Amino acid sequence: MEQQKAATRDGYGKALLELGKRNPNVVALDADLSDSTRSEYFSKQFPERFFSMGIAEQNMIGAAAGLAFSGKIPYASTFAIFSERAYEFVRNVVSRNKLNVKIAGSHAGIFTGEDGKSAQAIEDIAAYRALPNMVVLQPCDAVECEKMVFALADYKGPSYMRMHRNPVPAIHGQDYKFEIGKGEILKSGKDAVIFATGSLVHESLKAADILEKENVKVYVVNIHTIKPLDKNLVIELAKKTNCVVTAEDHNVIGGLGSAVAEVLGENYPCKMKMIGMQDRYGESGKPDELYKKYGLDAESIAEEAMKFVSKR
């Protein structure tokens, strides 16, 4: 039975609150957006461990670095696009020194909708993936986001977690076992494989159902960890299908598609199709309408996959 819809940011807030109860070393910081990122759940319960930094993302990252250096486990959240204001601080202070700072960027991708292109981060995966020592994650539902928050508390090192504003159905139950760096096969097939991340996991599953009616069976793989990428799984399924599709709500340059292409280019060159933002910004609109316009909806993914399989 499909669970109630929830945004991944809701999973973040819920898990951060629970983590605060379990571990007194967990602290939270936010750049004046705690109601939107849901870190306010933590702030109300643990005001002495919550730091509202105002619209000062560089200060937030610097303070988080100091807290990490002091033995605390800081979770620093803001909108994905605004986290990039502090990119040089993330690079030179956090990433370069391998500090245990957990950055959470909400409202990512054109799924952000009506806020428009100025608020729709479509380059954040590329930016953070380029930093040495940085783990880059993106959950596909609120349950997976909760599991990520807990897993990151045990992981020692810098990370960036990408979250969405709008609710999606739950794919996972509470018994789901999440592991950093391990892709998750959600649907098996033989004709092609779709490696998807975030909200595009949902669209890819729906696309697989559309394709199945045309007697085309595809793998759908949830790539919740873009870095480190599950290279073995990527290579294994590429060899099985020789037809690889990637799907992401992000620029096709530097995102999941690029990460998969890098692996296959060195290990198993094969046919590839990258579905995502084609090096252009989005616009203001309803998320489902934007997905349709920019080719990120299930029907568009199915159509592109069908063309691709037919050419093969």
145 close to 37: Cβ distance less than 8 angstroms: no
Q: Where are the alpha helices (DSSP H) in the chain?
A: 8-22, 34-37, 40-45, 57-69, 80-83, 87-89, 124-129, 142-154, 200-212, 231-241, 256-267, 287-293, 298-311
**Stated length of the chain:** 312
Q: What is the distance, to the nearest Å, from the Cα of residue 292 to the centroid of all Cα atoms in its chain?
A: 20
Instruction: Please state, as a whole number, how many other Cβ atoms lie within 10 Å of the Cβ of residue 122.
Output: 27
Torsion angle of the four alpha carbons 142, 182, 247, 242, in this order, in degrees rounded to the nearest 10:
-150
Please state, in angstroms and rounded to a whole number, the distance separating the CA atoms of residues 84 and 95: 14
80 close to 124: Cβ distance less than 8 angstroms: yes
* Token duo for residue 108: 């990512």
Q: Which of 212, 143, 219, 136 is nearest to 176 (CA)?
A: 143
Query: Which of the residues 2, 18, 57, 144 is marked catalytic?
Result: 57
DSSP SS3 for 167: coil
DSSP SS3 for 240: helix
Q: Are strands 218-222 and 184-187 parallel, antiparallel or unpaired?
A: antiparallel
The H or E element containing residue 135 is strand 135-137
Catalytic (active site) residue 248: no
Q: Among all residues, which ones are annotated catalytic?
A: 57
